[in-house]
Each structure stands twice: as C-alpha cells, then as structure tokens.
Amino acid sequence: MELSGKTAIVTGGGRDIGRAISIKLASMGANVAINYYNTPTAAEETLAIIKANGGNAIAVKADLSRWDECFRLVEETSKAFGKNIDILVNNAGGLVARKKLGEMDEAFWDHLMDLNLKSVFMMHRAAVPHMPAGSAIVNLASQAGRDGGGGGASAYATSKGAVMTFTRAMAKELGPDGIRVNAVCPGMIATTFHDTFTPDNVRSFVADKTPLRREGTAEEVANLVACLASDATSFVSGANFDINGGLAFS
C-alpha cells in the first residue's frame, strides 16, 4: 500500500482512532490534514509524532457542525498541499452521553445527528469537488449502527446507521466519477470513548464474549482504513466493514 504524493483529510484526527489513522496515512507517504476542534493539545502531539517520523502534516481547527468551517478545512488543506484531495476520512463524532428515550430532548437528538451524520454529509459536499478519479472516502460508522448500540446509545446508533446508508448511496453516486466510498464499523476498541462511557465490567464482559477474547486497538482500525484508502482495494466500494474481533457479523 502506497500513498506517496496523495493528500488526506482526517476529521477528528488528533486523538485515539483519528490519531492512529493520521499517523498511518502519513507513514505511507500521504500529506495529512489533521482536523480537530476542542483537542488542540492532542492534535499538536499527533502532528509532532508525524513530523518526528519524517511525515508531512498540518493541524487545522474546524467546527464540522458548520457548513463554512467544513469548506474552510478543505480550502486550507488545498492551500497547504495542492488543489486535489485524494483521501477523506470522516472520523469525527461521538456519543456525548448515554440517555434513554425519556431522558433525551430535541436539542440532544439534533446535536447527535449534527455531530455524527450532518458533518459527514457536509464534508462530502466540501471535499468531493476537489477529489479526482481514483480518490477514496472512508467513513467511520460503528457496530452500534448494526445492532442498535448499548444502553442509552439509541441516538448515537441511529446516526451511525445513517452513516452506513449514506456510504452506500455515495458509492453509487460518486462511483461514475471514479471515487470509492466505504465505511468501517468498529466494535469495542480500547479508546477514551469507552474509558468515558463504558463501565469496566461491561468492557470485560464484551471482551470475554468476543471470539478473539480482547478489545481492538486504534492501530488495528487505522490499518483497515489505510487499506480502504489505498489502491489495494481499488474495486471495493459501498461496503461497511466490521472490525470487532468476530463479535458480530454483517
């Protein structure tokens, strides 16, 4: 897998899975725009790691819930590395909080949809005009999009299920232009996401049920994303790839 001379945007690229993806793509030769919003220290640390290993990257702050900010992220990337965007990884998103139906209000629901789904749409809208034939988009969905998620994650799961559907639709729409669109659906990955929202006893229970008997790592997710971003998967589009150690099958 080789990405020399290509330009990539990784949204939410400063920490956890986003960091691992940014580092992996840079190690394969890509110029990487590391997007962040409220984690500037983490983004700068990721940038420093890439540069220390001879990679080329920039860090760009942008609020992806705003139309103009999505377009500015693409414009700043183009100015830094050239007009084309060859790889778009839509990783930004989150659970925010676990809330059951009776605990959610309209504002919470809308915030989750903006964070996890609307941002993906707007980044497609901003980046695709800059993407030549042979480009690739990889969206980060979730196992929750397949199985409804854990307790209090219905809004998150719904948004990620929509990302999976949007991925299929974009694969059909953008395929004639030579742009591939796929998604990755992580299960239990050892990140601050689960450090924050998943109790240790639940994590242990899920790991014990997983055929591989462990949680996954951010680097393992990054390896899959990198493969989908490369020409090694040049005839793969519209697919949602599970990465969960065998716990759930599509």
- Collect all residues with Cβ–Cβ distance below 8 Å to 216 and sequence separation of at least 6: 186, 187, 188, 189, 190, 243, 244, 245
Q: Is residue 70 situated within a structural domain?
A: yes
| Helix/strand/coil for 166 | helix
Q: How many domains does the chain have?
A: 1
pLDDT at 193: 78
Confidence bin at 67 (pLDDT 50/70/90): very high
Q: Which tens digit of pLDDT belongs to each residue from 84-93?
A: 999 999 999 9
Q: Is residue 100 situated within a structural domain?
A: yes
Q: Which tens digit of pLDDT belongs to each residue from 104-117?
A: 999 999 999 999 99
Q: Is residue 2 situated within a structural domain?
A: no
Q: Is residue 250 situated within a structural domain?
A: no
24 vs 193, residue with greater confidence? 24
- Collect all residues with Cβ–Cβ distance below 8 Å to 228 and sequence separation of at least 6: 136, 138, 180, 182, 184, 236, 241
Checking if the pLDDT of 249 tops 90, the result is no
pLDDT at 184: 98
Q: Is residue 49 situated within a structural domain?
A: yes
Contact present, 188 and 194 (Cβ < 8 Å): yes
Q: Which of 156, 166, 193, 241 is catalytic?
A: 156
pLDDT at 197: 78
pLDDT at 157: 98
- Radius of gyration in angstroms for the set of CA atoms belonging to the chain, rounded to a whole number: 17
Task: State the pTM of this model.
Answer: 0.96
CA pair distance 215, 182, nearest whole angstrom = 23
- Report the chain's mean pLDDT, rounded to a whole number: 96
Q: Is residue 249 situated within a structural domain?
A: no
pLDDT at 242: 97
Checking if the pLDDT of 250 tops 80, the result is no
Q: Is residue 50 situated within a structural domain?
A: yes
Domain extent, residue 131, equals 7-243
CA pair distance 87, 76, nearest whole angstrom = 15
User: What CATH number did the domain enclosing 24 receive?
Assistant: 3.40.50.720
Average pLDDT over residues 188-200: 86
The distance in angstroms from the start CA to the end CA of the chain is 26
Is position 37 annotated as part of the catalytic site? no
CA pair distance 156, 145, nearest whole angstrom = 8
CA pair distance 108, 97, nearest whole angstrom = 9
Q: Is residue 164 situated within a structural domain?
A: yes
